[in-house]
Amino acid sequence: MKDIQTLKFYWLKYDISAIQALINNSPGIESFVFTYYLPDTTDESKPIQLVSYGYMVPQNQYSIRFDILTSYKNNSVELSGPLIMSNNIISVADMLLLINTPDMAGDKPDYLIFTPNISEGKHIYYDVKRYKRIDTGDVEMEHLNTEPINTNPSPPATIKT
């Protein structure tokens, strides 16, 4: 039996306050770009994380400010190759929809959870879910009145031939 190399991808948490700060400090931001991050550690089980940058169109540059998404409750997915790990993107419009749209009770999310997934083309992307804090514990909020929003492993994952 052949040992297949696997990588562990954790669920990642992104606080709404950090998202708003990145938007406020990135003039002309058009999209959030998520790139992979390996922490400086000797712990082989330490998760692969994501770093979030703002991409600003007028300046054609990435923001100086960035956020490192943290693992969420040690939930993870182990995936084996072949895998393609490219930058993932969420437009500012989609991000604003995620963070500013209230649920049926009028509440907005406190944070987003990024859950790893794999496309047919073997690109890693993340499903994004909204969560709010309540007295009995954190709960996932219902889906928006749109298609579920996930990260876009862009290009070349989305190039049409």
Half-sphere exposure of 36 (CA within 13 A, CB side): 17
**Residue 92 included in any domain:** yes
- Domain assignment present for 69: yes
Q: Is residue 68 part of a domain?
A: yes
Closest CA to 138 of 117, 114, 112: 112
Residues 6 or more apart in contact with residue 89 via CB below 8 angstroms = 31, 32, 33, 34, 55, 151, 152, 154
Q: Is the pLDDT of residue 101 over 80?
A: yes
DSSP label at residue 48: B
Per the structure, the complete domain to which residue 46 belongs is given by 6-153
pLDDT, tens digit, 9 for 90 and up, residues 126-144? 999 999 988 888 888 877 6
What pLDDT is recorded for position 2? 65
State how many domains the chain has: 1
The torsion angle over the Cα atoms of residues 152, 32, 16 and 21, rounded to 10 degrees, is: 180
In a domain, 159, yes or no: no
Per-residue confidence (pLDDT) for residue 134, from 0 to 100: 85
Residue 33 lies in a domain: yes
Whole-number pLDDT of residue 161 = 43
Is there a domain that residue 26 lies in?
A: yes
User: Quick check: is 161 in a domain?
Assistant: no
Q: Do 24 and 95 meet the contact criterion of CB atoms below 8 Å apart?
A: no
* Domain assignment present for 1: no
Q: What is the mean pLDDT of the chain?
A: 87
pTM, to two decimals: 0.89
Report the pLDDT value the prediction gives residue 57, as an integer from 0 to 100. 86
> Is the pLDDT at 47 greater than 80, yes or no?
no
